[in-house]
Amino acid sequence: MLVNLAAAACLSLCEGPPENSTAKSDADWPDGEPRWFAAGRFDAGLILKASGYFGYGQPFWMWAGLQAAATGATDFFTISTGVRLSLPVIEFTAEYRRTEPYLRGPLPAQDQYDSDDLGATRREGYDALDLDLWGVIPLPYSFIFAEVTATWLPDRRRRYEESLRAVVEGWCGSARGGVGARVGDDGWIRIGVLAEVVVSERPTTPGFRVGPSIQLVFGPSTDLVLAGLWPVSGEDDFEPIDALTGAVALRWRMTTGGPPLSFP
């Protein structure tokens, strides 16, 4: 899922190209032998996120198995668990997520919301079921990628969904796409342009966001992701801290039988 730029979220909100789109090299993940493995990833930035994986295949490249994660941010905390299938150009996850906002809760039904409305609620956590599908098409010195996320909120109450950074109810989700370029001899710099639309059962005009991204790949175990998506349309009028999505995170990966952990 994605990570929030303003206060931390996903997404799980926007992480740039998925892990399995990393450029190949002599020491990279695609060269590992298929095997049973345990692996982990740690994100440090505007959020702190720890993820654990257990499965069979080539970790962070082509594998199937279980995953779990805990995310801490300035305005919420989540835990999630589910299944994951990763292939070289496509990735699918299905998971249960529990979100505990520090301040926010269910909202009354109205046509439009602003940040003051979010602050006037009584704190209440909520459950969600998330389905996420990634796809990436590698091209010479560039790539095209897309992601579709569907989220079900079983209580069907209108609320500010932390991973989407939007007021939704019932079924909701987002579609995100973009193009990017690999710069440098090993493609260790990746620059992209992103666009996202957020939809929900709530009767409203879909929200639309756009913005840039950059990823610095220091090796098979370490990279830095910077991305931001700014709203350009939608019914609600939030302050930037509640409206922006994106990612600012230094990420480390590790796995049994994998390359040693490296630092930039």
Task: Indicate the SS3 state at residue 122.
Answer: coil
Rounded Cα–Cα distance for residues 160 and 96 (Å): 18
Rounded Cα–Cα distance for residues 249 and 51 (Å): 14
Q: Give per-residue pLDDT as tens, 124-151.
A: 999 999 999 999 998 888 889 999 999 9
Lowest mean pLDDT among 24-33, 48-57, 200-209: 24-33
Is there a contact between 48 and 70 (Cβ–Cβ < 8 Å)? no
Q: Give per-residue pLDDT as tens, 9-46.
A: 233 233 333 444 333 333 345 567 889 999 999 999 98
Matching residue, tokens 């602050």: 119
Q: Where are the domains of the chain?
A: 19-255
pLDDT above 50 (res 190): yes
pTM of the full structure: 0.84
pLDDT at residue number 88: 84
CATH architecture of 19-255: Beta Barrel (2.40)
Q: Give per-residue pLDDT as tens, 223-245.
A: 999 999 999 988 899 998 888 88
* Average pLDDT score over residue span 216-221: 84
pLDDT at residue number 246: 83
Q: How much of the chain exceeds pLDDT 70, in percent?
A: 85
Average pLDDT, the chain: 85
Matching residue, tokens 């939608």: 234
